[in-house]
Amino acid sequence: MKFPSKLTFKASIFGLITICAHAEEKRIYQTDSLGNIQYNKPSFAVQKDGRIIQTDPIGNKQQYQIKGDKTYPVDSLGNIQYHKPQFKSK
């Protein structure tokens, strides 16, 4: 009986950690009228803490934070940028 190598074991553990990390957020994609995902348009990841991360097709990111009925843009450290436009949901 041959046991898996240490490298194979480490790679499988890394894969499990990667899957678990992505399971915490939901991804929202834009679709056309037929329901096809539009990969050339920005997508959004919604995290459990209320943070929304918008990612364009190139990989640039913009983060938002939901507080009450308002959505604020935040910097990469999570600080709310009150001087930038905010959105209000009804």
Q: Does the residue 57 lie in any domain?
A: yes
Q: Does the residue 60 lie in any domain?
A: yes
Q: Does the residue 53 lie in any domain?
A: yes
> How many domains are there within the chain?
1
Q: How many CB atoms lie within 10 A of CB 28?
A: 12
Q: Does the residue 30 lie in any domain?
A: yes
pLDDT tens by residue, 7-24: 443 433 334 333 444 556
Q: Does the residue 79 lie in any domain?
A: yes
Q: Which domain holds residue 64?
A: 26-88
Would you state the structure tokens that stand for residue 90, as one six-digit string? 């009804």
Question: If residue 63 lies in a helix (H) or strand (E), which one and from where to where?
Answer: strand 61-67
pLDDT of residue 9: 39
Q: Does the residue 7 lie in any domain?
A: no
pLDDT tens by residue, 49-61: 778 899 888 888 8
